[in-house]
Structure 1
Amino acid sequence: MLDREGYRPNVGIILANPLKQVYWGKRPRQHSWQFPQGGINRGETPKEAMLRELWEELGLTPDKVKIINSTKDWIRYDVPERWVRRDLRGIYRGQKQIWFLLELTGKNIDIDINATNHPEFEAWRWNNYWVPLRDVIEFKRDVYKKVLLEFAPSLFTSHRDLTPPENWGKVESTSRFRR
């Protein structure tokens, strides 16, 4: 399902733990890390799609999270043509997303990336809030920066935490990944 401009409606999820670290998932058979995201099915609201994706990608039920914030408008990104299937070239431009900031109210053990028969991630880890700006694939970087900047005031009160560190490209992850 594409809109008139060639963007697929989608939701993105930033899941934070009580230490204000964010969930970071590794795509299967790739060295590609990202926040959970997925398409909105016909007839679904963005919130319904987010809850479905939360289960499909993280094995989390709504009682294990608290919604802290969401973007008010769609945020778009273009997918480079080399990444677009040949049959969609000239039709598909990219994704338009509504993002949700969630707090994990459950425990780490509640996260089950193998809850479904088609896992979206093969490993995961908690990262410091700004690390995804360094690690995400380049064509998603502007979207991640916009969303992280928009959501930072919902998590942080300290002025120094509200913007990416000057050396954000050198920030290291705070923990090892989990399988």
Structure 2
Amino acid sequence: MNLEHVIDNERVIDREGFRPNVGIVICNADDQVLWGRRINGRDSWQFPQGGVHRGESPEEAMYRELEEEVGLRPEAVELLGRTQGWLHYRLPKRFIRKTESPVCIGQKQIWFLLRLTAPESAIKLDAHEDPEFDDWRWVTYWFPVSAVVDFKQAVYRQALAQLAGRLAPRQRNARGRRRQR
């Protein structure tokens, strides 16, 4: 991972100021994707995601975050694919905590595409002591690109474009559309 700064076992910042992170796209049999509403997010919705801990591979982090954020065990999903290399986004200046050392300027992410193989009832937002989400819904594959907070839109577009080839032809053909409902 080429890490320089380890704040603790859970917070790692690389030499360029990016936090290694995984993003998780969970789809159902109809290729709709799970879209979660963040707790205290004032109607802020996003895909499950989380940091890569010290000594953890991106895939190990993905399975840990999957269970922490949506209560799904590895046997409840099928791994369909992942993005190639790290995708980066920068935080807006108002979110950068300049008093922390090292300063985190954004995230670099590996994205994973999973298919839910368990019943929907296996999704448990309260599986962890500090839940990330308080609601979820299925949305069309490309909907999140325009619905997520603006500074994440480009990385969502890149991730979904790379992962679309693992799904039905209708998702590959929609590549590049900014909004599909």
Give TM-score, length-normalised by structure 2.
Answer: 0.88
Distance 1:11 1:131 in 2: 20
Question: Unpaired runs of 5+ in structure 2?
Answer: 1-11
Q: What SS does the aligned partner of 1:103 have?
A: strand
What is the correspondence of 1:8-157 to structure 2 with a 5 Å cutoff? 8-30=19-41, 31-88=43-100, 91-157=103-169
* Paired letter, 1:126: W
C-alpha spacing 1:160/1:150, structure 2 compared with 1 (3 Å): closer
Between the aligned partners of 2:162 and 2:16, the Cα distance in structure 1 is 25
Distance 1:141 1:159, change over 3 A: closer
Percent of pairs with identical residues:
46
Structure number with the higher strand fraction is 2
- Matching residue's letter, 2:34: Y
1:33 is aligned with what amino acid? W
Instruction: Give, in whole Å, the separation in 1 of the partners of 2:101 and 2:94.
Output: 9
- State whether residues 10 and 39 of structure 1, in contact with CA within 8 Å, keep that contact through their aligned partners in structure 2: yes
Contact 2:13 2:102 (8 Å CA) reproduced: no
Comparing 136-145 and 24-33, the one that deviates more: 24-33
CA distance in 1 between partners of 2:25 and 2:148 (Å): 13
Deviant stretches of 4+, over 3 Å: 158-162
The AA in structure 1 aligned to 2:35 is: W
For the pair 1:4 / 2:24, whether they are aligned, the reply is no
**Alpha-carbon offset, residue 125 of structure 1:** 0.3
Which residue identity lines up with residue 91 of structure 1 in the other structure? V
Q: Which structure 1 residue ranges, 5 or more long, are not aligned?
A: 173-179
Q: Could you give the per-residue CA deviations for residues 81-101 of structure 1, whole angstroms, max 9, x where no partner exists?
A: 101224138822100111100
What is the Cα deviation at residue 133 of structure 1? Answer: 1.0
